[in-house]
């Protein structure tokens, strides 16, 4: 599976937005695979082997319903990116680190402001430069705030609230973070010294690859009531942060994949791909991964929280007013690489399931008890970054998400070009200049950063979110246009 030959297997149309890989396609499939895509998007899906990965995931013991993929699906490792799988601990269901990914709790947060585009415009170049200098980004950049090992353990146990109590945020930030920024039952003692070493100076750093900080403007409102609840006003400036658990999370995944090598044989699990290595949720190996993964997820929430603090400091310095007066309020923070035990109703029966979201975002509808009070009447904000040239979206969870996708939706536009193809496509061009022509100031540490992450490397996010709106999973609330981008 190292080279892309394209997918040649079946994709049966279910309706305008869904395609089925029948369970008889591959020996060992326990459920169907279902891919959400438009007619246009499904053609790009056939171009790589991601549907094969959807079929592979359908082989996992204890999988419930279907192996799902969102329209931003692309070829990953083990699970496809954009994959969702629910497994039932009571029926021998497994947990697979490949269903979470190396960047545990990679996720997105959105900070709104009271600044209008016109107010911000004169200082925008200075703001982007100041953010680039103040927030550590790029390979190997250490954080501005150092933590001792014991403090790192507390971050792993307590998540974002720990750093907020240290003055690196506001109490309201916690309420507006998925799971209040802390997964209970995290086990910092299951995180290896190597993982702590690797993440030692990285809490509060952006990283590299597709991680970014964007200064954006709200340029379209689709749902006035939801936008009002989320505090989003037309023409206001917002800041989006995309990052995860940095080296600590990568190492937790690395350690676990090694520890689990013999687990499939031990538990009699036949796997079509060794990157799907897994263990029963109710096994010592499964519980160990869950505990360490939760600890890494908590580190990621602390990481994004510290960067929020640095964003506020930067805005205060550039605009000469306290962050409170500038209205730098967290709209929401949501993970898109995670596994969580959640209650879902399947075939009329309430069950506790392990929901793997690998490049997929939780999208709970109005009335869900896990939502903050301020959003319970409208539904959960879903933050979907697009690309640095076009736009991103704020969506809201709808009822069909619980009925069809275990409360999940897409996480972004989804990659279209490989990194190599993107670099080749950028030859002879200046992506920096092209972005400037679109009104976007971009700063990147790496020479190849802008080329590899150029807008053409991604699918059109508008088409991706449109599929899920048509399916009734999520609905558009607001569109955000990029004005400034910070890349690692």
Nearest residue to 104 via CA among 31, 186, 29: 186
Structure tokens at 42: 């499904």
How far is 416 from 47, CA to CA, in rounded Å? Answer: 10
Pairing of strands 236-243, 79-87: unpaired
6 contacts other proteins (rule: CB under 8 A):
no
Minimal distance in Å, beta carbon 75 to other proteins? 4
Is the alpha carbon torsion for 112, 114, 117, 120 positive or negative? negative
Catalytic residue among 74, 211, 368, 411: 411
Nearer residue to other proteins within complex by CB, 209 or 381: 209
Structure tokens at 431: 């992506």
103 contacts other proteins (rule: CB under 8 A):
yes
Minimal distance in Å, beta carbon 102 to other proteins? 4
| C-beta of residue 424 within 8 angstroms of C-beta of residue 417 | no
Q: What's the number of CA atoms in the CB half-sphere (13 Å) around residue 311?
A: 34
Nearer residue to other proteins within complex by CB, 251 or 392: 251
Question: Contact region for other proteins (CB under 8 A) — 6-14, 157-165, 168-176, 196-204?
Answer: 196-204
Minimal distance in Å, beta carbon 178 to other proteins? 22
Nearest residue to 320 via CA among 122, 163, 112, 117: 122
User: CB neighbours of 185 closer than 8 A, spacing ≥ 6?
Assistant: 290, 291, 294
Among residues 415, 459, 479, 487, the one that binds other proteins under rule CB under 8 A: 415
456 contacts other proteins (rule: CB under 8 A):
no
Question: Contact region for other proteins (CB under 8 A) — 269-277, 314-322, 392-400, 464-472?
Answer: 269-277
277 contacts other proteins (rule: CB under 8 A):
yes
Question: Contact region for other proteins (CB under 8 A) — 30-38, 96-104, 153-161, 181-189?
Answer: 96-104
How far is 218 from 481, CA to CA, in rounded Å? Answer: 7
How far is 329 from 231, CA to CA, in rounded Å? Answer: 9
| C-beta of residue 67 within 8 angstroms of C-beta of residue 99 | no
How far is 295 from 426, CA to CA, in rounded Å? Answer: 39
Residues 314-353 that bind other proteins (CB under 8 A): none
Q: Per-residue DSSP letters for 93-143?
A: -EE-GGGT-SSTT-EEEEEEEEEEHHHHGGGHHHHHHHHHHHS--STTPPP
Among residues 20, 194, 282, 390, the one that binds other proteins under rule CB under 8 A: 194
Among residues 184, 228, 274, 429, the one that binds other proteins under rule CB under 8 A: 274
Residues 131-160 that bind other proteins (CB under 8 A): 138-140
Residues 51-80 that bind other proteins (CB under 8 A): 74-78
Among residues 5, 8, 427, 447, the one that binds other proteins under rule CB under 8 A: 447
Nearest residue to 249 via CA among 203, 195, 303, 288: 195
Residues 197-256 that bind other proteins (CB under 8 A): 197-198, 200, 207-210, 247, 250-251, 253-254
Minimal distance in Å, beta carbon 74 to other proteins? 5
Minimal distance in Å, beta carbon 63 to other proteins? 20
Minimal distance in Å, beta carbon 101 to other proteins? 8
Minimal distance in Å, beta carbon 298 to other proteins? 19
Nearer residue to other proteins within complex by CB, 57 or 221: 57
266 contacts other proteins (rule: CB under 8 A):
no
409 contacts other proteins (rule: CB under 8 A):
no
Nearer residue to other proteins within complex by CB, 207 or 397: 207
Residue count (the chain): 488
258 contacts other proteins (rule: CB under 8 A):
yes
How far is 248 from 229, CA to CA, in rounded Å? Answer: 35
Nearest residue to 369 via CA among 407, 330, 334, 410: 407
Q: Cα dist. 75→45, 151, 181, 271, 454 in Å?
A: 9, 37, 29, 18, 19
Nearer residue to other proteins within complex by CB, 303 or 380: 303
How far is 98 from 257, CA to CA, in rounded Å? Answer: 8
356 is catalytic: no
Q: Which residues bind other proteins (CB under 8 A)?
A: 1-4, 48, 50, 74-78, 81, 101-103, 138-140, 194, 197-198, 200, 207-210, 247, 250-251, 253-254, 257-258, 261, 273-275, 277, 415, 418-421, 445-449, 452, 488
Catalytic amino acids? Answer: 411
């Amino acid at each position: 599976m190292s080279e892309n030959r394209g997918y040649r297997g079946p994709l049966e149309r279910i309706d305008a937005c869904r395609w089925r890989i029948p369970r008889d396609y591959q020996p060992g499939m326990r459920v169907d695979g279902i891919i959400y895509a438009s007619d246009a998007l499904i053609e790009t899906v056939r171009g790589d082997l991601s549907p094969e990965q959807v079929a592979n995931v359908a082989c996992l013991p204890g999988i419930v319903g279907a192996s799902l993929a969102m329209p931003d699906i692309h070829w990953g490792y083990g699970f496809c990116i954009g994959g969702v799988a629910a497994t039932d601990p009571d029926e021998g269901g497994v947990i697979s680190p490949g269903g979470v990914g190396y960047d545990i709790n990679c996720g997105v947060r959105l900070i709104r402001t009271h600044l209008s585009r016109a107010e911000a415009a004169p200082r925008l170049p200075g703001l982007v430069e100041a953010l680039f200098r103040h927030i550590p980004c790029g390979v190997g950049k250490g954080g501005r705030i150092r933590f001792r090992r014991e403090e790192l353990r507390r971050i792993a146990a307590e998540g974002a609230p720990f750093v907020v109590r240290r003055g690196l945020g506001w109490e309201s930030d916690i309420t507006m973070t998925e799971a209040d920024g802390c997964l209970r039952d995290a086990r910092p003692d299951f995180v290896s010294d190597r993982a702590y070493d690797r993440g030692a100076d990285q809490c509060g750093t952006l990283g590299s690859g597709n991680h970014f900080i964007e200064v954006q403007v709200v340029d379209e409102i689709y749902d006035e009531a939801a936008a009002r609840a989320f505090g989003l006003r037309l023409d206001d400036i917002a800041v989006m942060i995309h990052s995860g658990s940095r080296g600590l999370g990568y190492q937790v995944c690395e350690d676990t994949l090694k520890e689990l090598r013999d687990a499939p044989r031990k538990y009699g699990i036949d796997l079509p791909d060794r990157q799907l290595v897994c263990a029963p949720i109710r096994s010592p190996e499964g519980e160990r991964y869950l505990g360490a993964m939760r600890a890494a997820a908590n580190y990621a929430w602390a990481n994004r929280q510290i960067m929020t603090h640095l964003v506020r400091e930067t805005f205060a310095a550039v605009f000469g007013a306290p962050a409170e007066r500038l209205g730098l309020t967290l709209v929401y923070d949501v993970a898109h690489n995670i596994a969580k035990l959640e209650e879902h109703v399947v075939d009329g029966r309430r069950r506790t399931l392990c929901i793997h979201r690998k490049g997929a975002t939780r999208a709970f509808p109005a009335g869900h008890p896990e939502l903050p009070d301020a959003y319970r009447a409208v539904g959960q904000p879903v933050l979907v970054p697009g690309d640095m040239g076009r736009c991103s979206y704020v969506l809201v969870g709808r009822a069909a998400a619980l009925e069809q996708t275990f409360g999940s939706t897409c996480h972004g536009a989804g990659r279209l070009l490989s990194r190599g193809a993107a670099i080749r496509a950028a030859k002879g061009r200046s992506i920096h200049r092209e972005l400037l022509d679109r009104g976007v100031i971009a700063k990147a540490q790496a020479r190849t950063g802008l080329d590899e992450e150029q807008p053409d490397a991604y699918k059109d996010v508008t088409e991706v979110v449109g599929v899920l709106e048509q399916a009734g999973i999520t609905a558009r609330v607001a569109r955000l246009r990029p004005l400034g981008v910070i890349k690692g």
